[in-house]
A and B are shown apart, each in its own frame.
Chain A
């Protein structure tokens, strides 16, 4: 069965084809969520949530873009929801525990930090978590996932020039935040 055939079958509700889709796209989804999630078990849950969302909204895929673009979009949305839930959780824990409450997750806690081997990579990951969501997404998709600006623009529903601007700003912000850690 060719790629488009089983993808179509999966989106038409064929369980066997959907299983193939899950196997095929799990690495893509996991890698992307790992750049955002703060815990490896959350990362696994997020990946599952993405595929559940794909199944539940399979009728909404119109085929205007590549399937991978649509999956990236769902993954990024889930990741953003996750970050917002995390922020709310930290805020609530601070409210209930007062100033002595649990520390918010730091850059050192992120999944990617545990999965990334080098110190430099961890520094970038930590600084990335402080960037605005749009800049972070554009940077991760282009620099880590290797998507073109055009593909990233499709995923983020923005123009290519807007994506280019987001990447430039992300890089400028990273340079500013990490100025003590690299040589010019």
Chain B
């Protein structure tokens, strides 16, 4: 599309021939031409009004920041609590854990493998 636009530019020759292509350096030179800066007598006032408003807007911006931090802390706490509860229920229901707890029940002397160490004279 850019090529078509280039070819149909006013610089095209009247007999229908395509204009001669510029060199790469000529293209760069054309682009290098300074850009006109529009005059604006009120520019500084615009900057100044934004400057005076910026301190107020900074204070306003704090609220969403604190709200996001609080939300993140709540979510983290929820996830942490969830993990703890999950672990409690998972381990207490586990048959392996229940059997280990049974084996270590020191009130059951018959199954306590360390009984002879507690009462060495009984042998």
The answer to whether A120 touches B44 (Cβ under 8 A) is no
Closest B residue, CB atoms, query A106: B1
Q: How many A residues touch B, CB cutoff 8 Å? A: 40
Bound together, the chains give a CA A23 to CA B31 distance in angstroms of: 25
Shortest B21–chain A CB gap in Å is: 4
- Known contacts A34-B35, A123-B6; A183 and B22 CB within 8 A of each other: yes
Q: Which of B45-53, B76-84, B97-105, B111-119 makes up part of the contact surface?
A: B45-53
| A151 interfacial by beta-carbon distance below 8 Å | no
Shortest A17–chain B CB gap in Å is: 12
- Known contacts A118-B33, A124-B31; A178 and B47 CB within 8 A of each other: no
The answer to whether B51 touches A52 (Cβ under 8 A) is yes
Interfacial chain A residues near B37, Cβ < 8 Å: 26-27, 30-31
The answer to whether B2 touches A124 (Cβ under 8 A) is no
The answer to whether B33 touches A182 (Cβ under 8 A) is no
Bound together, the chains give a CA A26 to CA B47 distance in angstroms of: 11
Bound together, the chains give a CA A46 to CA B2 distance in angstroms of: 28
Interfacial chain B residues near A52, Cβ < 8 Å: 47, 50-51, 54
Interface string of A147-184 (1 = CB under 8 A from B): 00000000000000000000000000011001011111
Shortest B10–chain A CB gap in Å is: 9
Shortest A149–chain B CB gap in Å is: 17
The answer to whether A56 touches B47 (Cβ under 8 A) is no
Mostly, the B contact residues are helix
Tell me which residues from 29 to 62 in chain B have a Cβ below 8 Å from any Cβ of chain A.
30-37, 40, 43-44, 46-48, 50-51, 54
Of the candidates B2, B35, B46, B51, which one forms a contact with A181 in the assembled complex, judged by CB atoms under 8 Å apart? B2
The answer to whether A120 touches B47 (Cβ under 8 A) is no
Interface string of B1-36 (1 = CB under 8 A from A): 011011001010000000011111011101111111
Tell me which residues from 1 to 52 in chain A have a Cβ below 8 Å from any Cβ of chain B.
15, 19, 22-23, 26-27, 30-31, 34-35, 44, 47-48, 51-52
Q: Which of A60-68, A96-104, A109-117 makes up part of the contact surface?
A: A109-117
The answer to whether A181 touches B27 (Cβ under 8 A) is yes
Most buried by A among B2, B9, B36, B50: B2
The answer to whether A178 touches B27 (Cβ under 8 A) is yes
Bound together, the chains give a CA A120 to CA B44 distance in angstroms of: 34
The answer to whether A124 touches B30 (Cβ under 8 A) is yes
Closest A residue, CB atoms, query B33: A121
The answer to whether B32 touches A120 (Cβ under 8 A) is no
Bound together, the chains give a CA A184 to CA B21 distance in angstroms of: 9
The answer to whether A120 touches B31 (Cβ under 8 A) is yes
| A125 interfacial by beta-carbon distance below 8 Å | yes
| A82 interfacial by beta-carbon distance below 8 Å | no
Given A52-B54, A119-B5, A120-B27; 12 other pairs, CB 8 A cutoff? A23-B44, A47-B43, A52-B47, A55-B47, A119-B9, A119-B11, A175-B24, A181-B6, A182-B22, A182-B27, A183-B21, A184-B23
